Amino acid sequence: MRMVDLILKKRNKEELSKEEINYIINGYTKGEIPDYQVSALLMAIYFNGMTNEERLNLTLAMLKSGEEIDLSKIKGVKCDKHSTGGVGDKTSLVVAPLAAACGVKMAKMSGRGLGHTGGTLDKLESIPGCSISIESDEFFNQVNKIGLAIIGQTANITPADKLLYSLRDVTGTVESIPLISSSIMSKKLASGADNIVLDVKVGDGAFMKNVEQASELANAMVNIGNLANRKTTAVLTDMNEPLGCAVGNSLEVIEAIETLKGNGPADFVELCIYFVTEILLVCGICNTETEAKEKVLEKIANGEGLEKLSLMIEAQHGNKEVINDYSLFDKASEIIEVKYLGKKPCYIQKVEALTIGEAAMMLGAGRETKEQDVDFAVGIVLNKKIGDLVNPNDTLAYVHSNGKNTNVAVEKVYEAYSFSDTLVEKQSKIIKVIR
C-alpha cells in the first residue's frame, strides 16, 4: 500500500476502505507518513468529503490510536454530554449534577478554553482547591459513589486526533464536516460512555455560523455514534448571544450554582432542563419528555442537584463552602458599569456573542494560546439581553477587571449591543433535535 495512491484515490472522489484508513492513521501516528502527504489527503477530503462508512472508520482508527477508557467498573447507565463551544457556556456544571441526581452516571472528561470560548476545566479550577486531575481508581470510585466526576482528558486519548488537528489548523482544512465530526466523536467514544448527548452551537459565537452547517455536523456525529453502537442525540442551540448572563470563570460558576438553587437566567435554565431531559430519555431513565422534565424540576426544587455539585467539589479536593459563600472566589479589583448612551428608550436587538467573548478574553478570562494562564476573577455580566427594554443611562453590563485592557474591553462590550425602536421577541435557545 502506498500513501500517494490513497491521495490520488481520494482526489478522484473514490471511497477509502477501512484497511486503507487504518494504514494512514497508524502510519502517521508512528511518524512513518510525512506531514506533506497527510496535508494533501486532508485537502482532498476537504473538497470531496467522505461517506458515512469512511467517517466511522476514520473515527475508529483515531480512537484506536491511543487509550480507551474502560468504564465497566462504574455501575449503572453512563452518559457523556459534549458542547462544541460557546460564550457563557457553563452548562456542564448544571446538567451533570442534575443528571447524576436523576440516577445517570456522569463520568465526564472536559477540555480547557481557547480563544473566545470558555472551558469547563478552567471554570472548575476557579473553585479554591478543586482538582481536575485524579487517579483512575479514584475517578471510578467517585462516580460509583456520587454519580459524578468532571476531569481533564488523559494525554493518551486519541493521539492521532491531536496530530491531525494541529495539521488541519495550519493547512486550511479545519472547516471540514468529516474531519470535525471524526475528531469530536473519536474523543467521545474513547471516553467510554454508553450514551452521548451533543450540544451543537449555532451562530455568531459558535464555530458553525448557520443551521445548515450545524445540521450537517450534527447528523454526521449522530450517525458515527449510532454506527459505533452508542446511542447518540444532538441538539442544535442558539449562540447568537452569550448563554446566561455571566462570561468568565468564577462568574460562570456562581451563575451555575444559582441556577441549581432555582435562580438562574431564563435562557440558561431552559437549556439546562432541556439537556437533562434528553439525557434521561437517551439513557432510558424516563419514557416521555413530560416525565423527564418533571423529574429534573423536582431535583432543582429539592436541592439534590446542588448537593451533587457540592459532593463533586469536595471529592475533587475543592472548598465546597463556595456553594453558599461566593466571597471565597477570586474577586476583580474593579467593576465598571457599561451604560446605554441613547437618548430614548429602545429594545435590545442583538448582543454579539463573539464580541463579548473577545472582550472577556482581552480582560484575561480566556487564552489566545494554550500556554497562557487565565484570570479566574475577570469577565462580563450582562444586565440586558435580547428583547429587554432599556432606558437612557440604564446599565447594559458589568465589566469585572483587574486592569488588563479594561477600557478597550468596555468599548467592545458596548459595541456588541444593537438596539431597536420596536419590540424584539425573545427566542428559544433550542433550534432543532437530531436523534
Q: Are residues 205 and 288 in the same domain?
A: yes
What pLDDT is attached to residue 170?
A: 87
Give the separation between CA 424 and CA 348, rounded to whole angstroms: 7
Is residue 132, in this structure, part of any structural domain at all?
yes
Of the residues 300, 323, 346, the one at which a domain ends? 323
Q: Are residues 42 and 100 in the same domain?
A: no
We report the CATH number of the domain holding residue 29 as: 1.20.970.10
What pLDDT is attached to residue 155?
A: 64
Of the residues 323, 357, 383, the one at which a domain ends? 323
Give the separation between CA 427 and CA 423, rounded to whole angstroms: 13
Query: Which residue is catalytic, options 64, 82, 90, 429?
Result: 82
Q: Are residues 110 and 226 in the same domain?
A: yes
Q: Are residues 250 and 390 in the same domain?
A: no
User: Domain total for the chain?
Assistant: 3
Q: Does residue 93 contact residue 254 with C-beta atoms inside 8 Å?
A: no
Q: Are residues 100 and 213 in the same domain?
A: yes
What pLDDT is attached to residue 357?
A: 93
Is residue 365, in this structure, part of any structural domain at all?
yes
We report the CATH number of the domain holding residue 358 as: 3.90.1170.30
Q: Are residues 168 and 229 in the same domain?
A: yes
**Is 2 a catalytic site residue?**
no
We report the CATH number of the domain holding residue 299 as: 3.40.1030.10
Query: Which residue is catalytic, options 168, 201, 367, 385?
Result: 168
**Is 116 a catalytic site residue?**
no
**Is 161 a catalytic site residue?**
yes
Residues 6+ apart with CB under 8 A from 198: 81, 82, 83, 84, 184, 188, 218, 221, 222, 232, 233, 234, 235
Secondary structure (3-state) at 187: helix
φ, ψ at 381 (rounded to 5°): -120, 115
Tens place of pLDDT per residue across the chain (435 aa): 999 999 999 999 999 999 999 999 999 999 999 999 999 999 999 999 999 999 999 999 999 999 888 899 999 999 999 998 889 999 999 999 999 999 999 998 876 655 555 678 899 999 999 999 888 899 999 999 999 999 987 768 899 998 998 899 889 898 899 999 999 999 899 989 999 999 999 998 887 889 999 999 999 999 999 999 999 999 999 999 999 999 999 999 999 999 999 999 999 999 999 999 999 999 999 999 999 999 999 999 999 999 999 999 999 999 999 999 999 999 999 999 999 999 999 999 999 999 999 999 999 998 766 667 899 999 999 999 999 999 999 999 999 999 999 999 999 999 999 999 999 999 999 999 998
Buried b (16+ CB within 10 A) or exposed e, 264-295: bbebbbebbbbbbbbbbbbbebbeeeeebbeb
Q: Are residues 290 and 175 in the same domain?
A: yes
What pLDDT is attached to residue 85?
A: 82
Is residue 427, in this structure, part of any structural domain at all?
no
Q: Does residue 302 contact residue 260 with C-beta atoms inside 8 Å?
A: no
Query: Which residue is catalytic, options 161, 238, 267, 375?
Result: 161
Give the separation between CA 26 and CA 63, rounded to whole angstroms: 11
**Is 317 a catalytic site residue?**
no
Q: Are residues 279 and 229 in the same domain?
A: yes
Query: Which residue is catalytic, options 92, 183, 186, 401?
Result: 183
Is residue 274, in this structure, part of any structural domain at all?
yes
**Is 181 a catalytic site residue?**
no
Q: Are residues 309 and 342 in the same domain?
A: no
Which residue carries 472551558 as its cell? 119
In DSSP terms, 150 is beta-bridged to 108
Q: Are residues 244 and 378 in the same domain?
A: no
Q: Are residues 90 and 152 in the same domain?
A: yes
Of the residues 323, 345, 364, the one at which a domain ends? 323
> Which residue range is the domain that position 157 belongs to?
79-323
Give the separation between CA 171 and CA 36, rounded to whole angstroms: 10
Q: Are residues 352 and 224 in the same domain?
A: no
Q: Does residue 247 contact residue 255 with C-beta atoms inside 8 Å?
A: no
Is residue 429, in this structure, part of any structural domain at all?
no
Classify residue 39 as exposed, middle or buried by CB count within 10 Å of its CB (0-12, 13-18, 19+): middle
Q: Whose CA is closest to 221, among 344, 351, 83, 39?
A: 83
With residue 250 as reference, give the H or E element that holds it.
helix 249-260
* pTM for the structure as a whole: 0.91
Is residue 302, in this structure, part of any structural domain at all?
yes
Is residue 74, in this structure, part of any structural domain at all?
no
Is residue 304, in this structure, part of any structural domain at all?
yes
